[in-house]
Amino acid sequence: MEEQTIELILLRHGQSTLNSKNLFCGWIDPPLTEIGIEQAKSAAREIKKHLISTSKPSVSFCSRLIRTKQTLLTILKELDELSNVNVQETSENVIIEKHKPLSFEKVSTNPSTAMGYNFYSSWRLNERHYGSWQGQNKKKVLNIVGDKEYMQVRRDYEGRPPDVNLDKEMEQKGEVEDKNLPGHDEYEFKEPNRYEKYKMEYQFGDVSLPISESLSDVLTRMTPLLEDFIIPEIINSENKIGMIIAHGSSIRAMLMKLMGLDANEIKGVNIPNGMPMIVKLSYEKGRHNKYNIKFIDRYYLDPELAAKKAEQVKNEGRN
C-alpha cells in the first residue's frame, strides 16, 4: 500500500490563572486568564491561515482539564466552525475501553440534534502530575531544592517530584473552602476531588491515577491512546487533519513518540502556551490493522515567536 500523510496540529493550552502566578499546575484545574483566551484566539488565526484548502481539522482532542477544553472551544469559535457552541455529554456514546477517552463530547449549533463537530477528551492527555509541587511557586521550590534537583525533576526523562498527599492537597468530597483554616496558605490551590472529577474513569476504565509523574510516566500512559485511538481517528477522518490541545509535558511526550526522540534530545524541548505546532506523518497499514507511522516534519506556525516563548518556559522559576 502506498504511503499517505496526516497532519497533527499540536497546541499547549493558553495561559491559565496558575501559569500567570508562576505556580506548578499539574492536575490542578484552573481556567484560562484573559491573556490565555487571547492566546487561543491568536492561535486560531494562525491555524486558519495555515488551513488553506479546508476550514477546520476533521477531529480534535483535549485533556480532561478545563484549560484545554476552554482553549479548544475558543479556537473553534474563532475558526467560525460554530457561532453558537453548546457542549453536550452524550452518555449513549461513552467509550469505556480503558485506552480510549471516556468522554465523547459533541459541539452543535442545535443541541437537540447532537450533531456537529466532535472532540474527544481523555485523562491520558492531562498534564504531568507534579506531585507535592502542585500549587507551589516555582521560584520558591527552586530556592528550597536547589537548581540541580529543580531542573532534574523538570527536564530529566525520569525526574519525578515528591508524591502528592491527597488528604491535604486534593479537595475533599463536599469540602467548603475556608481560608481561615490552618494550612490554607500552604495548600491554597488544590487539585479537584479525583473521585468526583474522574468518576467515569474509575467506574469503567480500570485506571490507577497518579500521585506524581516523570515524563517517562506520561509517555507510558499516553502512548496507548495515541497509537490505538488518536492516530487511527485522524487517518480515518475527512481531511486527515487532527488538532490536539494538551499540556507542556504531554506534548513533549507525544513528540518523543512521534519523532523518535531520546531522553537527552527531549531535554531541550520546551513548549510555550498558545503556539500552534504542525507535525506531519506518513502512514501505511501494517499487520493486524495496525498503522506504521513515519515522522516527516515538525514546525511552529510562528517559529520566531515560539522560540522566544520557549526560552521563557525553560527559565521559569529562575528569573
Angle of helix 215-225 relative to helix 248-259, nearest 10 degrees, comes to 70
16 is in an annotated binding site: yes
Q: 55 or 69: whose pLDDT is higher?
A: 69
Do the domain assignments include residue 137? yes
Q: What is the pLDDT of residue 318?
A: 67
Task: Give residue 95's pLDDT band: very low, low, confident or very high (50, 70, 90).
Answer: very low
128 is in an annotated binding site: yes
Do the domain assignments include residue 15? yes
Residue 221 and residue 124: Cα distance in Å, rounded?
6
Do the domain assignments include residue 195? yes
18 is in an annotated binding site: yes
For the chain, how many residues are written?
319
Q: What is the pLDDT of residue 114?
A: 33
Q: 211 or 207: whose pLDDT is higher?
A: 211
Q: Mean pLDDT check: name the lowest of 55-59, 86-90, 159-163.
A: 86-90
Q: What is the pLDDT of residue 202?
A: 80
Written as nine digits, the cell of 64 is: 480532561
Q: Which of 13, 105, 233, 247 is catalytic?
A: 13
Residue 244 and residue 8: Cα distance in Å, rounded?
7
Q: 181 or 25: whose pLDDT is higher?
A: 25
Is there a catalytic annotation at residue 127? Answer: yes
215 is in an annotated binding site: no
14 is in an annotated binding site: yes
Res. 121: pLDDT tops 70? yes
Q: Which of 46, 81, 105, 127 is catalytic?
A: 127
Distance, CA of 55 to chain centre? 23
Do the domain assignments include residue 319? no
Distance, CA of 265 to chain centre? 21
Res. 94: pLDDT tops 60? no
Residues sharing a CB contact under 8 Å with residue 120, sequence separation 6 or more, in sequence order: 59, 60, 61, 62, 101, 103, 104, 105, 229, 233
Q: What is the pLDDT of residue 120?
A: 86
Do the domain assignments include residue 167? yes
Do the domain assignments include residue 172? yes
Strand residues in 122-276 grouped as ranges (E): 241-246
Res. 113: pLDDT tops 50? no
Res. 67: pLDDT tops 70? yes
Other C-beta atoms within 10 Å of 169: how many?
22
Task: Give residue 247's pLDDT band: very low, low, confident or very high (50, 70, 90).
Answer: very high
Sign of CA dihedral 43, 48, 49, 54: positive
124 is in an annotated binding site: no
Please name the residue that has the C-alpha cell 499540556: 247
CATH number of residue 134's parent domain: 3.40.50.1240
Average pLDDT over the chain, rounded to an integer: 84
Distance, CA of 184 to chain centre? 28
pTM for this model (two decimals): 0.88
Residue 78 and residue 93: Cα distance in Å, rounded?
27
Nearest C-alpha neighbor of 154 from the set 248, 66, 18: 248
Q: Which helix (H) or strand (E) holds 191?
A: none
Do the domain assignments include residue 268? yes
Residues sharing a CB contact under 8 Å with residue 149, sequence separation 6 or more, in sequence order: none
Do the domain assignments include residue 226? yes
129 is in an annotated binding site: yes
Q: What is the pLDDT of residue 101?
A: 57
Q: 107 or 33: whose pLDDT is higher?
A: 33
Domain total of the chain? 1
* Mean pLDDT of the 251-265 span: 96
Q: What is the pLDDT of residue 175?
A: 60
The model's pLDDT over 5-34, given as tens digits with 9 standing for 90+, comes to: 999 999 999 999 999 999 999 999 999 999
Q: For residue 94, give its domain range.
A: 4-314
